[in-house]
Structures are given as C-alpha cells and as structure tokens.
Amino acid sequence: MQKIIVSVSFGKDSLAMLLKIIETKMFQIDEAVFYNTGMEFKAIYEIRDRVKIILAENNIKYTELKPNKSFLYTMLKKPVNHRNGTKSNGYQWCGGRCRWGTTEKLKVLDKYCKDDIQLVGIACDEPKRLSRINKIKNKIAPLVSLKMTEKDCLEYCYNKGFYWEENGIRLYDILDRVSCWCCANKNLKELSNYRKYLPEYWDNLKFLQTKISRPFKKKYTIFDLEEKFKEQV
C-alpha cells in the first residue's frame, strides 16, 4: 500500500505545505522526511525541532535522511574524475551548473520513498519547478491546489509563529531563499547581507574558499567579494 510522505526542508514553502495539510486534513500523512545536508542554517534546525513535536502530536512518523558521505567530504575530499580528463579533490562549491548536492538529495529521497507518494513544497508561482514535478507520477505539489504563492507561504508561517531568526534578524528579510548556507546560487545582495548580518556564516565561507580553488561567483572568490563589498560602504 502506498504511503503518503511529505518531503520537508523546513524552509517557508515546505513548512507551509506541511502545516496546511495537517490543518485542513487534505491528505492523511504517513510520514515526514527531512534530508539533512549538515549545512543548514541554525534556524532551520530550530524549526525542525519545533515541528517534530507537532508531528508527534499528530501521529506522523518523522524520518531524517543524510548524504551517503558527509557534505564536506564530497565538497573537499572525494576523488573526482572530470569529463575533460582532469582530476580534483571534491566537487567544490555546489550551485549553478554543478548542483551535486541537489542531485545527491534527490537520489537519496527517491531511493527512500520508492513508489510512495511524495508531497513536495513547490508554490503555485514557480512554473519552472512545477513543470519538472508534473512529469513525475508519484510527486504532488499540494500548494498548487491550495493556490499558495511563495509570499502566501511566508505569511502563513509567520502567522503560525515561525520566523527563521538568527542574530535578531529574520533570514527571509535578507535572503531570497533559506537553502544551505554555502549554496553558490546565493546572489550578491544575499552575500552582502551575510557579511553585514551573519558574520559567522561569512567567516565559514571564507574558510571554505581557502580549501577550494574555484571562485564562488563567476570570477569572484569570497575574498574578492569581501573587497568588493568594502568598496560599496
């Protein structure tokens, strides 16, 4: 018998989906699954711990999955043979054309969920992501039926008392997406806000850059960006 599994990252969209389904009972959820990269914001883990209590109260099983090898091992140490014949230690930054972390996440989730129904947190105003999901028979995006946009999801979560706060700042006030803190898809505005409001993560990025030869954003290393941001002050 197929189970109904909610895939939750504890970002605004997947959290809104989970809480809304529990509230409306539009699905009978069997299990909630979180793929923990080990590189999430502290606020994500704090929300995870709060939501685990809600899941227990509603008799929903909670499962936490992890990469087959640690994120940092794959990033910095794993022997990699590239198509051009070169070799490197690790895939380095994850993001842009090389989204190895996302690929690994989907593999682990799909292997675990098998033929069960996966509920995924994609808002109704994300057509590109929805077009990919619609091609997969056992994945459903309930936020479409609920007609909830990304903005709706954030407001709904705030109304439920979930704010993603660190250093007295709501992360969604300064970041477009609260994905892994080391994601190379972060834009310059977000990275500038890292340096200004989240110095701990900025220092972590600088440390990683000392281990990685590839620039973080196009031709810019984290250290180049730091100088760039200093000039803008």
Tokens of 225: 């960006």
**Which value, to the nearest 10 degrees, does the dihedral of the CA atoms of residues 103, 108, 111, 115 take?**
-80
pLDDT of amino acid 87:
84
pLDDT of amino acid 148:
97
Nearby residues of 64 by Cβ (< 8 Å), 6 or more positions away: 33, 34, 36
- Whole-angstrom Cα distance, residue 63 to residue 194? 31
Closest CA to 60 of 33, 34, 31, 35: 31
Which pTM value belongs to this model? Answer: 0.94
- Whole-angstrom Cα distance, residue 78 to residue 90? 4
pLDDT of amino acid 58:
97
Tokens of 94: 């994850």
pLDDT of amino acid 232:
79
| Secondary-structure breakdown of the chain: helix, strand, coil percentages, each rounded to the nearest 5 | 45, 15, 40
End-to-end CA, the chain: 59
Beta-bridge partner residues of 61: 31
Domains of the chain: residue spans and CATH: 4-165 (3.40.50.620), 186-233 (no CATH)
pLDDT of amino acid 85:
82
Residue 229 parent element (H or E): helix 222-232
DSSP one-letter string for 102-153: HHHHHHHHHHHHTTSEEEE---TT-HHHHHHHTTSTTEE-HHHHTT--HHHH
- Whole-angstrom Cα distance, residue 75 to residue 92? 5
Beta-bridge partner residues of 89: 79
pLDDT of amino acid 233:
63
Instruction: For strands 139-140 and 117-120, give the pairing.
Output: parallel
Q: What is the pLDDT of residues 142-183, one digit of tens each?
A: 999 999 999 999 999 999 999 999 999 999 999 999 999 999
The segments of the chain whose pLDDT lies below 70 read 233
DSSP one-letter string for 169-190: EEHHHH-S----TT-TT--HHH
